Amino acid sequence: MTENFNYSYSHKWSEKEYVEARSIFAKDNRVLRVVLIGIIGILFLFCQYTLILGILMLVLTIIALYKPSLIVYGARQEFRSYLLLRYTLTYRVSDSGLSVEGENGFYANCNWENHTYCKEDRGWIILTGTGMPLLFFPTTKVKQDGVYDSIMEYVKKYSNRDERNKF
Q: What angle do CA 150, 151, 157 make, to 5 degrees?
A: 90
pLDDT over 50 (residue 83):
yes
Residue 150 CA to residue 136 CA, distance in Å, equals 16
What is the average pLDDT value for the chain, to the nearest integer? 82
Using only C-alpha atoms, what is the Rg of the chain? 19
Check residue 65 and give its pLDDT. Answer: 75
Cβ(115)–Cβ(28) below 8 Å: no
Cβ(142)–Cβ(151) below 8 Å: yes
DSSP strand pairing (115-121 vs 124-129):
antiparallel
- The average pLDDT across 6-27 equals 80
State the helix-helix crossing angle for 15-22 and 73-81, rounded to 10 degrees: 130
Check residue 94 and give its pLDDT. Answer: 92
Percent of the chain scored above 90 by pLDDT?
26
pLDDT over 80 (residue 81):
yes
Which residues are paired to 108 by β-bridges?
100
Query: Could you read off the pLDDT of 61-70 as tens digits, one per residue?
Result: 887 777 766 6
What is the per-residue burial (b if ≥16 Cβ within 10 Å, else e) of 92-120?
Answer: bbbeebbbbbbeeeeebbbebeebbbbeb
DSSP strand pairing (124-129 vs 107-111):
unpaired
Check residue 167 and give its pLDDT. Answer: 46
pLDDT over 90 (residue 1):
no
Residue 91 CA to residue 96 CA, distance in Å, equals 14
| Verdict on whether the full-model pTM lies above 0.75 | no
Lowest mean pLDDT among 40-54, 126-140, 149-163: 149-163
pLDDT over 50 (residue 147):
yes
Residue 7 CA to residue 47 CA, distance in Å, equals 52
